[in-house]
Amino acid sequence: MRLPQEIIRDKRDGRALTEADIAGFIEGLTRDAVTEGQAAAFAMAVFFRGLSRDERVALTRAMTHSGTVLAWDLSGPVLDKHSTGGVGDTVSLPLAAMVAACGGYVPMISGRGLGHTGGTLDKLASIPGYDVAPGLDRFRRVTAAVGCAIIGQTADLAPADRRLYAIRDVTGTVESLDLITASILSKKLAAGLQGLVMDVKAGSGAFMASRAEARSLAESIVTVANAAGLRTGALITDMDAPLASSAGNAVEVAYAVDYLTGRAREPRFHAVTLALAAEMLVIGGLAATRVEAEERLTTALDSGAACAVFARMVAALGGPADFVEAADRYLPRAPVVRPVTSQASGVVERIETRAVGLAVIGLGGGRTRPQDAIDPRVGFTDLARPCDRLAKDDPIGMVHAADEAAAARAEAALRQAYRIGGEAPAACEPVMERLG
């Protein structure tokens, strides 16, 4: 391997790196031959100078092979979905079960909350006994037996990504499109996938606020993933409003259970979930067309097959065997639950969705520091949607809080996030574009 500082200098000056340079640098990072300072300098050089497609592929492959790469011997395709993050985005919980009920296998490695966005692991951790960090052997067993398992990243999978991400997080280089691409895909490739669908969010609650930014990221991921041998497609979906009418942790798990059981299926959430799951079935060869895929998925939902898969996954990973039937009994509840009322009559013109996510963090439902504990009980339910007409004193939503003071702060923040006026916004399709 060339000296790390020489590799950094080449990228700093805008020169292309070879596959051997990138592989050597990542190997050095994994075995501590590259210092944190050198890794930070590398990340900053990439941030400003960028990577070519070949460099992105080389970085993704090097990070993938920095640890264990899973291999599967199963009767169906190994598939996954990844979201760039949003508010009320609890799609992963029902989607994994729906795809598994249609013959796919979904070994989903998910993350905790990042910034104002909720994390799938934080949601699942609100289920008593659910093991979000099992060993690889249990992960394999549950995936094979149930059809899906949603867990957190283990120390074995893409360890170079975990180290580099921690450095990026404190050096202002998180937003690099090149590094985001390699970070996401290295974990997915290490999971041994045969197909991946990306859900790239755009809007006021997304990291990529503009549609153009979202498209650039989606194109990068699709291009690099396919070049690295992973068949991948992407949807750009709307995040100008919370995807579900619930935002938090336990409240989103309850929402997912209601969706799976059929007690409540909101059209916007259903449209995004069905579209992503259908893309997975088509990519995995389980359906010839999206129409056929959606028909199979709808049958899996309406017959209760998807709900049964979710229940088996929860039990297999340590949760209650009767969780679906008794979710209200098992999920923690906030001691203060009260409506947040509108102070004016009119129509919901706009929602500052990022502000809603930050209000959940303010309640204790997210982290301001990595070591912070999460309060799984808190959040919002019954959130009003764009175009909803409200009379004065009608509820914008329900706040779930640990105490009255926290509820009052969240109430003020939620009112501030909603613009109530006289004009309904133009309709926006929840699925805006397809790529790949």
Token pair listed for 139:
């992960």
pLDDT of residue 173: 85
Q: Catalytic: 392?
A: no
Which residue type is seen at 187? Answer: K
Q: What does the angle CA 263 – CA 78 – CA 191 come to, to the nearest 5 degrees?
A: 105
Q: Domain 332-421: which CATH class?
A: alpha beta
Q: CB of 89 within 8 A of CB of 59? A: no
pLDDT of residue 370: 61
Predicted TM-score (pTM) of the model is: 0.91
pLDDT of residue 117: 66
The CATH number of 4-50 is 1.20.970.10
Q: Catalytic: 13?
A: no
Which one of the listed residues 21, 80, 89, 375 is annotated catalytic? 80
pLDDT of residue 371: 67
Domain with CATH 3.40.1030.10 in the chain: 79-327
Q: Catalytic: 120?
A: yes
Q: What are phi and psi of 120, to 5 degrees?
A: -60, -40
pLDDT of residue 340: 98
Which one of the listed residues 30, 60, 83, 245 is annotated catalytic? 83
Q: Catalytic: 187?
A: yes
Q: What's the rounded Cα separation, in Å, for the pair 353 and 355?
A: 5
Best CA proximity match to 70, nearest among 207, 218, 180, 186: 186
Q: Domain 79-327: which CATH class?
A: alpha beta
Q: CB of 143 within 8 A of CB of 105? A: yes
Domain with CATH 3.90.1170.30 in the chain: 332-421
Q: What is the mean pLDDT of each run of 10 residues along the chain (436 residues)?
A: 93 97 96 94 96 95 94 96 91 98 95 69 94 93 97 87 83 86 92 95 86 92 92 96 96 98 97 98 98 98 98 98 97 98 95 94 81 89 95 97 97 96 84 91
Q: Catalytic: 382?
A: no
Token pair listed for 53:
């497609």
Burial 60-75 (b: 16+ CB within 10 A, else e): bbbbbbbbbebebeee
Helix pair angle (211-227, 53-64), 10° resolution:
60
pLDDT of residue 366: 83
One-character DSSP codes across 20-50: HHHHHHHHHHHTT-S-HHHHHHHHHHHHHH-
pLDDT of residue 114: 57
Q: What's the rounded Cα separation, in Å, for the pair 79 and 92?
A: 12
Q: Catalytic: 210?
A: no
Q: What's the rounded Cα separation, in Å, for the pair 14 and 50?
A: 8
Q: Catalytic: 188?
A: yes
Domain with CATH 1.20.970.10 in the chain: 4-50
pLDDT of residue 172: 81
pLDDT of residue 208: 80
pLDDT of residue 185: 93
Q: CB of 98 within 8 A of CB of 277? A: yes
Q: Catalytic: 81?
A: yes
